[in-house]
Every structure is written in structure tokens, then in C-alpha cells.
Amino acid sequence: MLSKRWYYCWTSRPNLIFDQFQGDKYMPLENYVKLDSWIELAVKLNVTEMGIHRPYILRPNSLPHVIYDAKKLKTLSLSKCKFEFDISTTHIRFCCLEALSLNHVHISDAQLQRVIERCPSIRTLNLYYCEGISKCHIFGLVHLQYLTASYCKLHSVIVEAPYLRCFIYNEYAELDNILPCQIAILDGYNTLQTLELTGASITDQQFRDIFCKFPNISELELARCYKLNNIEIHLIIRVEQSGKSHDSSSKFIGI
């Protein structure tokens, strides 16, 4: 039962933050039907920030289709959710979305591509432990500045984003077990400043190609990139290799 004052806050505020919650940590299964209704209400109220996070021990829950009509949404963060829309019939209206974070989310390659295509204003894209995808291909996102792809078992990452500033890639890797993943950051306006690669199958030549195209990289972190033997670095401000930071302007580093 909600008081009149609380009901007014609930219906008029674009976002609500709950803190110091005490009670049952896990919601009964029957209440997920109510969750869909709450999401529908939030979309109707034109919320600008939305986060849906379910316990990791549960199976991914399907997203209600009404969420794809959130035209005013600027930030969307999802955990343990599942995309089940039909790419040929579902209209996605994320025209204002600037930040998208998917954590332990099930989504297909075609669905991810469609979502990305419908986010022309996106600046930040984070993918963590996503299932169902094998590639992340991004073209034409002129506002994209921050991209993270972590532990999604991708086979290829191809990015064409002229103003990209930060690219982070993480994957599990051992010396005799490296997941091959093609990483290609296409030419932009030399805005890339931060590059972090963990468990990447990148070679010496591929690394040199990246630095030739993006000479303004000032922060570099490499870990478990076992195919790298010798790399050349020009005018680097900060280098971090396997957790050790160095101020450097060296032209040659042996690994």
C-alpha cells in the first residue's frame, strides 16, 4: 500500500534510487509478472535511466517488448536478461540512448547488430559475459567513445567509430589455449587514447598496425597476450604490462 505522497513521487520522478534495503533479497517468481508492468510504466513515464539486474544464479529472464519503445532512455543497464525480439518485425526506438551495458545477457549476433544500429547517439557500450554472440561489428556510430568487450568469447571485433577514445578487450587465456579473435579498429580521427588488451590473440604486426593508425594512444595495458614477442612503442606516456606501471618514451620493449 502506497501513501498519496509516495504515489506522486513514483509517478512523477524519471528515476528512483533505493538504498539501505532490508528484506527478502530474492523476489518470488510470481512477482516477475509485476516487474514487466513496472517496466511498462517506466517507459510510459519517459524515464531516462533504467537498470534491470537479476541474481546471477537465476536463468536469464526475457525482456518485455515494451522496453524497445523507450524513446527517451539515455542509460540502459541489464543483467541476466534475454533478448527475444524478432529483428524483422520489432521496432527499436533507442534514439536517445547514450550508454548501454549488458552483463550476463543472452543476445544473438543479429539482435546485437540491430540494437547497435538503432542507437545513433550511443557514447558508451559495455559487453560483459554475454552469451549467444560470436562477433561485435560496429559501423557508423559517430558518437561512440568507450567500448568494452569482456569475456564474451568473441571471434571478431571490428570497430569503425571515428571518435573512439577507449577500447578494452578481456578474455580468458592460457599459454597453450588462446581464443582466436580478430580485432580490427578501423581508421578514425586519431582520438584513441586508451587501449587495454587481456588474453588477446594479437600478433606483433597487428600491434604495430594499430599504433601506426593511432599515434595518440597514451595509456596501454597488456596482459596474457601470449602471441606478442616484441613491440615498438613511440611517445607512450604510461605503459602497464601485467600489473606493472612505467612512465616511458621507449621505442622498443621486449616481452
**Residue-by-residue pLDDT tens, the chain, 255 positions:** 556 666 666 666 666 665 554 555 555 545 555 778 888 999 999 999 999 988 877 788 889 999 999 999 999 999 999 999 999 999 999 999 999 999 999 999 999 999 999 999 999 999 999 999 999 999 989 999 999 999 999 999 999 999 999 999 999 998 888 899 999 998 778 899 999 999 999 999 999 888 888 888 989 999 999 999 988 776 555 556 565 555 554 444 444
The predicted model scores a pTM of 0.80
Find the largest Cα–Cα distance for the chain: 68
253-254 vs 230-231, strand pairing mode:
antiparallel
Distances (CA, A) of 29 to 35, 166, 173, 229: 10, 39, 37, 52
Using the 8-state DSSP alphabet, how is residue 147 labeled? E
Q: What's the rounded Cα separation, in Å, for the pair 42 and 11?
A: 9
Q: What share of the chain is helix, strand, coil (3-state, %, to 5)?
A: 20, 30, 50
